[in-house]
Each structure stands twice: as C-alpha cells, then as structure tokens.
Amino acid sequence: MIYPKFHYGRDGPFAAAKILERMAKEGKKISQLISDLPRYHIIRFDIKTKVDWENTKKKLEKIAKERGMMVNDMDGIRMDEESGWFLIRESKTEHKIRVVIEHKNKEEAENLRKEILRIISE
C-alpha cells in the first residue's frame, strides 16, 4: 500500500495498521472489507527493448486523447481513466521497459496491452 499523505513508498506495516484501523472503526472482518472493494484486472509485463520515448509518448498521448485519459509523465508515462490506468516506464536497474495495466474490464485491459505492444514495437 502506498499512502501519499504518509509517504510515497510501499509500506507493509503501515498498510496493516490502516487495515486494522478500518476493521476497528467499521466493526467488520477483513473478508467483509475486501468484499466491498471493486475488482480490477492487472496485467504486468516487461519488454527487453530500447524505446524512442518522445515518439512513444506522442503515440500514447493520442490514445489518451481518444479515450479521454489523464496523462502523467512524472515517472515514465502513466495514463488514467475512470475505469483503469496504465504505466510504461524504463527499468532503473535493467535494460527493459516495465508495463502495468489495471482495469475494471478484463477485455479492455487486454486491448490496452495489445495497443501498447503495437506502439512500442513500431
């Protein structure tokens, strides 16, 4: 869990404390809290390739405009829409591109994966 009000890094003990806090406030078991959460489909993969970031960014921004997505290029290229998001970034430790897609709709997540692979391979 990353909680920006606390800090921008992953923090397991903090996540556990927040879950316990919510369980206590709501008087629910963790299974009840989880059942109330929306389900997302996550696709993660790496591509061993070099990327022309300027060209790739332009193509991805075209997708964003067509879909009404918000673009954030603070760390790679992240695009958000109401039902999901994706992030493409260079690995800081290896010669590869990391891609993460999270979407409420499994088919849409797969469509994004195919479109991203097509753009990166061009």
Judge contact between 120 and 108, C-beta under 8 A: no
Domain spans in the chain, listed from the N-terminal domain onward: 1-37, 40-121
Determine how many CB atoms are found less than 10 A away from the CB of residue 99: 21
Residue 59 is predicted with a pLDDT of: 82
Residue 65: per-residue pLDDT: 81
The per-residue pLDDT for range 64-95, each reduced to its tens digit, is 888 788 888 888 889 898 899 999 888 888 88
Average pLDDT along the chain: 87
Q: How many whole angstroms from its chain centre is CA 85?
A: 5
pTM of the model as a whole = 0.69
Predicted pLDDT of residue 45: 93
Q: Are 11 and 1 in contact (CB under 8 A)?
A: yes
Fold annotation for 40-121: TATA-Binding Protein (3.30.310)
pLDDT average, residue stretch 17-39: 92
Q: What is the mean pLDDT of residues 1-20?
A: 83
CA-CA distances (angstroms) from residue 45 to 32, 41, 86, 88? Answer: 31, 13, 12, 10
